[in-house]
Amino acid sequence: MNKKGQYFSFDAIIASVLFAIALLSVLGYWFSLKSALDSNNDPFFTEATRVSERLIANSNRVINTSVFEALAPLDEDELKSQFSTPYNLTIIVTDPYSNSFNFTAGDKTVNASNIAKVRRVLLLYNSSGEYPAVMDIYVYR
């Protein structure tokens, strides 16, 4: 009895499944890359990245808490002029582990249709020591 045709059909099925998986992987990567590139061209995202880089520049991502405490009393217009931006800003810094330091500058309730968010992980220090924190910067109009 000759079963050569059955092996050929089994090979074709496996090859078709592998081709479909490879095709879906390439398409998924392509569309995620395209959307990532589109979001990087957004002026709100560019401005949020610029503000975050300005805050952590020359600090090796280690920032004294006094930097954020100095920004706390600023209203929205003063915050915009401080960072030389035409957009509204909200900066939120939280300590995800102990909640010993929570900071918000700008509008605490952001209701905008066009908004960009940049998240940076950094190290905060003060007289009691160093601890990790998360900084979220929202840029909106």
pLDDT in tens, the chain (141 residues): 555 556 667 888 899 999 999 999 999 998 888 777 766 678 888 899 899 988 887 778 888 888 888 888 888 889 999 999 999 999 989 888 876 678 888 877 777 778 888 999 999 888 888 888 999 999 988
Helix (H) or strand (E) holding 48: helix 43-56
Contacting residues for 55 by C-beta, under 8 A, at least 6 apart: 63, 67, 91, 120, 135, 137
pLDDT at 129: 83
Query: Residue 138 in contact with residue 116, Cβ under 8 Å?
Result: yes
Helix (H) or strand (E) holding 8: helix 4-40
pLDDT at 24: 96
Q: 54-73: per-residue pLDDT in tens?
A: 888 777 888 888 888 888 88
- What is this structure's pTM? 0.69
pLDDT at 21: 96
pLDDT at 6: 61
pLDDT at 134: 92
pLDDT at 83: 92
Helix (H) or strand (E) holding 91: strand 88-94
